[in-house]
Amino acid sequence: MTNILRIDSSIKGEAAVSRRLTSRIVERLLAAHPSANVVSRDLAQGIRQIDGAWLGSVFTAPEERTAEQAETAREADAILAEVKAADILVIALPVYNFAPPAQLKSWVDHIARRGESFVYTETGPVGLLTGKRAIVAFTSDGTPLGSELDHASGWLRQILGFFGITDVEFVAADRMVFGAEESLARAEAAVEALAA
């Protein structure tokens, strides 16, 4: 069975273009894989930012954790487990001020755990989350995908690759203020052209 993990991150809720695109992408995938299991996580509903207490919790042996540390580690482990179980990740990447939303960065921070998503070797880092595909719904008001102003898509491709996820595709509804209908039409066509 194919496992699909859908990650939304826009603070605009149902009005978000990125959410519209992640819905369309998941629909496209389900048409090809009707028995697929879909897990959804809306980061705009809240995700803890990592801090010293988080670090102490996830890197303390389970039997030595306090009750508070155990709860923090449980939440962090659940986020990581969703990614590990996924065959396909569908990730919303709305661009805020030329960069990814803080809540998407926090989600990545929960996943970036040495020994779980990557290891360091004598020849450099090696990602442990291999064999997965990521489809990213990139949306922006004015930032063109891949431009020198875009500090979001390159970062996400880099960190996913660091985790071993190198099959990464982007569907873009970018520069929306300069022609929303045209941009959305291009994005919808790109969704339809995705190999399912």
**Residue 9 labeled ligand binder:** no
For the question of whether the overall pTM of this predicted structure is more than 0.75, the answer is: yes
6-41: burial string, b at 16+ Cβ within 10 Å, e else: bbbbbeeeeebbbbbbbbbbbebbeeebeebebeeb
Neighbour-count burial of 47, counting CB atoms closer than 10 A to its CB (0-12 exposed, 13-18 middle, 19+ buried)? buried
Tell me the angle at which helices 153-162 and 102-111 cross, rounded to the nearest 10 degrees: 10
- The whole-number pLDDT of residue 195 equals 79
Question: What integer best gives the mean pLDDT of the chain?
Answer: 96
Chain segment 64-78, per-residue pLDDT in tens: 999 999 999 999 999
Yes or no: say if 37 and 86 are a contact pair by the CB < 8 Å rule: no
Q: How far apart are the first and last CA of the chain?
A: 14
Fold of 3-193: Rossmann fold (3.40.50)
Ordered DSSP codes for 56-120: HHHTS-GGG--HHHHHHHHHHHHHHHHHHH-SEEEEEEE-BTTB--HHHHHHHHHH--BTTTEEE
pLDDT band at 173 (very low <50, low <70, confident <90, very high): very high
